[in-house]
Structure 1
Amino acid sequence: MRAIEVGDLVMTYGELHAVDGVSFTVEEGEFFGILGPNGAGKTTTLEMVEGLRRPTSGTARVFGEEVWPRNKRLLPRIGVQLQASSFFERLTAREQLQTFAALYGVGGDRGEAWLERVGLVDKADTRVNDLSGGQAQRLSIACALVHDPDLVFLDEPTAALDPQARRNLWDLLSGLTDSGRTVVLTTHYMDEAEALCDRVAIMDAGRILELDSPAGLVRGLDAPTRVTVAPGQITVEEARRIRGVDEVVDSADGIVLVTRDAPPVVARLAEEGRLDGVQVHTGTLEDVFLSLTGRAYRA
């Protein structure tokens, strides 16, 4: 059975089509990502799939059941970490997790376990409104997972975290699907999607532009490879004479050889003993994202 089936989902606000005919499926045990610039329709799409918002038209099914009208049978099987969470302000982090555990009918020991897993043991007795933004974000994720749901929705879960905390959380999130759990993630971090997701949908203006594995999306971009040779290893004139080099750029980091056929170019550098300090940069998911959505600033 598929975890999620979305068919021609639409959400309109007057003349605005926030979500405009979105269709996709998510398999059980899959880590599925949705990427897009601000206002692309990511959060609205998730809210309809979660059963929090009634679609204008289209269908959304989770584990074979309709999510709207609000389906109470699905609630114990779903965990949701919203982009902005509201807590009981006067409760401590421990009390907050114990409350969520009780609402789902599970023991308070689950809350203690999740405090440790998200690195909040030393903040267990701190009131929620005294936590930093990153700490509150980690608590929000713990609350979404405390009842061990089959399907988890994470809306920009690492947005307020520092780089070290982000990497630690990646380790946690990457293991969520090991026991068959399904995860749906929205994020602005391309490296995060590449590291965690089995497949990624790129959205803009309420539509899905591309959907594939991160590696598949990069292959489809057909981006050139940039081979950077350390300063002093080669001259611009020598680089231009290497067969397969389309362009040569003299940069502060060294001489950059732009090519669409990297193996023979690198082999020639090896033959000439010029590999010391060489860096090879291929296309990335960020390149795909910018190619599809453009570089203009979004409000």
Structure 2
Amino acid sequence: MTAALGAFATRDGHAAAVSARGVKQSFRGREILHDVDLVVEPGSFHGLIGPSGAGKTALLKVLYGARRAQAGEVSLLGRAPDGRDCALLARVGVQGAVSAFFSHATVWEHLSTVASLMGASQARAHQFLDQMGLGRLRDWRVELIPVGARRMLVLASAMVHHPEVLFLDEPMADLDTSERADLLDALDEARDEGTTVVCAARLLGELGTLCDAVSVLDEGRVVAVGPASSFVADSNRCLTPQLGRTASHRPRGRIGALDPMPGVLGSRGVLA
């Protein structure tokens, strides 16, 4: 059983919102996480970046308690994460599967029900319906809405109760330009409200404009850690530190031009 880290401090001496030390995890006899260490500052946006198969999703599941690490220590809001800890789960948001819907309900019925179950107000549900661009689909049955809208509903359901920590796994997948802009604005606002975000993705992309810190995973190991502004794609198309560059900040409001997308290479040299 994975133990909690207790008061695992960040550089400034505050308790980490999410932390891991020496985490190992295996699947079908193959080790997919190797001695992973992670410290996520409270209120920060932390990117877990790496190619497919790097262990990002496995690490997320260990961090929010869907799986238990086979070795190591994990702390989530000062407690050992456990999928049966209802008090802790109420403080956390997790981007679930697209299939995890009340599929015969309307978009509004689904989101308002999730809000009620998580202790959020109906006004908050209305806010997210509009903020995530779902207002025009409010009376559609969930099973009939487009794939991108389903993804937005998943994300709205994870964020509607204003979680202290939000876990995202490839949140930009299947979204069009307008939906990505709506999501970035919602995540920007969530961070301003104090939500800690841990987000797994193959590429920094637009998310790099939100990230405070990045951990790069490859073959189950953390191979680099640093501020997002210190990573750029070099001439070999690998993710490497860039020295002397100041962090850039995305202007508030709807996104216009999208930022360059630094890439991450797997061990076979294939762009993820």
Same fold (TM over 0.5): yes
Structure 2 residue aligned with 1:295: 269
Pair 1:176–1:293, CA change in 2 (3 A): farther
User: Structure 2: which 5+ runs fail to align?
Assistant: 1-14, 237-259
Matches within 5 A, 1:145-156: 145-156=159-170
RMSD, aligned α-carbons? 2.1
Structure 2 residue aligned with 1:4: 18
Alignment partner of 2:34: what SS?
strand
Q: Select the residue among 41, 65, 68 that pairs with 1:27.
A: 41
Which protein is bigger by CA-based radius of gyration? 1
Q: Select the residue among 195, 204, 213 that pairs with 1:190.
A: 204
Q: Deviations over 1:275-295 (max 9, x none)?
A: xxxxxxxxx7625x23x7553
Structure 2 residue aligned with 1:99: 113
Q: Deviations over 1:255-277 (max 9, x none)?
A: xxxxxxxxxxxxxxxxxxxxxxx
Structure 2 residue aligned with 1:213: 227
Greater shift in the superposed pair: 203-212 or 102-111: 102-111
Offset of 1:84 from its aligned partner? 4.2
Alignment partner of 1:79: what SS?
strand
Structure 2 residue aligned with 1:286: 262
The structure whose residues are more often helix, as a share, is 1
Structure 2 residue aligned with 1:179: 193
8 Å Cα contact 2:21/2:38 also seen in 1: yes
Q: Post-superposition, which runs of at least 4 consecutive aligned residues in structure 1 deviate over 6 A?
A: none
Structure 2 residue aligned with 1:118: 132
The amino acid of 2:180's aligned partner reads R
Alignment partner of 2:133: what SS?
coil
For residues 53 and 162 of structure 1, the distance between their equivalents in structure 2, rounded to whole angstroms, comes to 32
Alignment partner of 1:40: what SS?
coil
Alignment partner of 2:19: what SS?
strand
Pair 1:285–1:128, CA change in 2 (3 A): closer
The amino acid of 1:189's aligned partner reads L
1:200 aligns with 2:214: yes
For residues 83 and 140 of structure 2, the distance between their equivalents in structure 1, rounded to whole angstroms, comes to 38
Alignment partner of 1:175: what SS?
helix
Offset of 1:137 from its aligned partner? 0.5
Alignment partner of 2:208: what SS?
helix
Q: Deviations over 1:106-146 (max 9, x none)?
A: 33222111101101011001011101110000001110011
For residues 119 and 191 of structure 1, the distance between their equivalents in structure 2, rounded to whole angstroms, comes to 21
For residues 217 and 193 of structure 2, the distance between their equivalents in structure 1, rounded to whole angstroms, comes to 29
Matches within 5 A, 1:263-274: none
Q: Select the residue among 68, 75, 81 that pairs with 1:67.
A: 81
Alignment partner of 2:168: what SS?
strand
For residues 159 and 80 of structure 2, the distance between their equivalents in structure 1, rounded to whole angstroms, comes to 22
Structure 2 residue aligned with 1:77: 91
The amino acid of 1:199's aligned partner reads A
1:168 aligns with 2:182: yes
Q: How many residues align?
A: 235
Ranked by relative contact order (alpha carbons within 8 Å, sequence separation 6 or more), the top structure is 2
